Amino acid sequence: MSMHVFRGNDAGYVSWLEAHPAGFVINIHKSYNLGSARFHDASCYTLHNQRGTLTDPYIKVCADQLVELEAWEITALRGAIQPCGSCQARPRATHTRVIGAASAAAGAAPAGRYLVPPPEPHSSVVEAWADDYIRFENEPEWQKTLRREITSLCANLNPSADEVLHATFYGEKPARMDIENLALCNLHYSFKQPGRNGIRFEHGLETAPPPDGEAYQVSYRYELAFRSNGFTDWELGRTVASFGWTDLGEFRRNKVPAQVWLALARRRAGNPQPPLAARTSFAVKVKIRPPHQNSPGPTAELLKGVVDGVVCAFQAHTDTSTSAEVAVRLAKVLPAEPAEIERLLLERRWAVLGAVPRLVILLKGDAVQWNPGDDWCDAGELLAALPEPLDPGWAISGQIFELSRRKSAMPPISSMHLR
């Protein structure tokens, strides 16, 4: 048996996590309260983002095999532990197709079909087809299983130094839904391993036919592609905006969009490009430079924060009835005075991606939410760059491009197929 119980031993638990990324973890109160306990994949981002004491009062029961923890669960607890809502660690399905008739018959969420073919040997491509896109929350059980299957296969993608992850979502995009959410964030997976050198995403034009010959509404494709490759289904047009290396300082998790917005808004100078016409597709291409060689690489969460911050820097907040209060709240988490923040938010000269009534929304308490108008951001990328020896913080550079659809889109070619 390889099961370990970590109680009051944070260092041992952290070492186990690093050495067993494919393992499993039960997070449970030392009183063995079944209701608050959760099953996790060892790679679950919620485990790696915990703060404070990690193994007291909540202890960690860890094992390489799920069956070992299930045996402990039965003998020690005499009850079933719920899976984590982010990684959905159990069960790990091994089938390639599910028809959710059983769930529907039991009065649960509607039935749905999906197909996840096993990858070819030595392949760097993961593909899936489904009757509907994976929701971020309140999703039916069949979508949770589909999410687990996709992310389990993606976790096996091991990029070389010149490869990045290329994620594509095919299908109709729901209103007000971002492509990076559909292709990446809704899967509740960091893509830290396959995307460690960079992550590229796009809204695909036409998917390859599924091997079972059935008709599905959406599909997903994840592959390792050369860093130098472009988008598969889009042509870059004119440059709408660009920015050289810009220091961001130390990232503060949920504050990334605000940090990126402030840094870019402060350095806007010269003459802006003509604004992008309404309902025109665009792409955000960013390089990110970490403070040191061992810094973590791009993740889905980081990509989302950076892209949102870049888009916000080239839009404007037009609701003057909320701008003052927004500025006061942002000043509590940003190194800037409210007057400067409000002026930068309301500046329309640089809003080449359009103006938004409320670029930042007021929430309860002192909270705010960034709300960029990025419905037409149909492609983007966040690529890792080498750190500068004397640079203590993070930095980004990049461009925003107008996009047009390729007249004929060929299926993407993974770099593994060329070896």
Least trusted range by pLDDT, from 39-53, 164-178, 258-272: 39-53
Q: What is the reported pLDDT for 97?
A: 43
Binned at pLDDT 50, 70 and 90, residue 231 comes out as very high
CB 284 within 8 A of CB 305: no
Counting residues of the chain whose pLDDT is more than 70, the rounded percentage is 89
Give tens-digit pLDDT for 365-384: 889 999 998 889 999 999 99
Mean pLDDT of 112-137: 91
Statement: residue 344 has pLDDT above 90: yes
Question: Tens digit of pLDDT for each residue in 53-91?
Answer: 899 989 999 998 887 887 788 777 767 788 887 776 654
Burial (CB count within 10 angstroms: exposed 0-12, middle 13-18, buried 19+), residue 51? exposed
Nearest of 148, 3, 19, 6 to residue 69 by alpha carbon: 3
Helix then strand then coil, in percent of the chain rounded to 5, is 25, 25, 45
pLDDT for 237 beyond 80: yes
**What's the rounded Cα separation, in Å, for the pair 93 and 90?**
8
Tokens, residue 49? 């983002």
Higher model confidence: residue 176 or residue 247?
247
Most confident of 99-113, 134-148, 284-298: 134-148
Instruction: Say yes or no to pLDDT of 225 above 90.
Output: yes
pLDDT in tens, 194-203: 999 999 999 9
- Which of the four pLDDT bands, split at 50, 70 and 90, describes residue 95? very low
Which amino acid, one-letter code, is at 170?
Y
pLDDT at 135 (0 to 100)? 94
Is pLDDT at 104 greater than 90 in this prediction? no
Report domain extents, the chain.
4-83
Question: How confident is the model at residue 410, as a pLDDT?
Answer: 47
For the chain, give the mean pLDDT.
Answer: 87
For residue 302, the SS3 value is helix
Chain segment 302-342, per-residue pLDDT in tens: 999 999 999 999 999 999 999 999 999 999 999 999 999 99
> Would you state the pLDDT for residue 102?
32
> What local confidence, expressed as pLDDT, does residue 1 receive?
54
Q: Residue 96: is its pLDDT beyond 60?
A: no
pLDDT tens digits along 164-175:
999 999 999 888
105-127 residues labelled b (16+ CB within 10 A) or e (exposed) = eeeebebbbbbbbeeeeebbbbb
CB atoms within 10 A of CB 224: 24
Asked if pLDDT for residue 391 goes beyond 90, the answer is no
pLDDT score of 253 = 61
Question: In the predicted model, is pLDDT for residue 264 greater than 90?
Answer: yes
pLDDT at 411 over 60: no
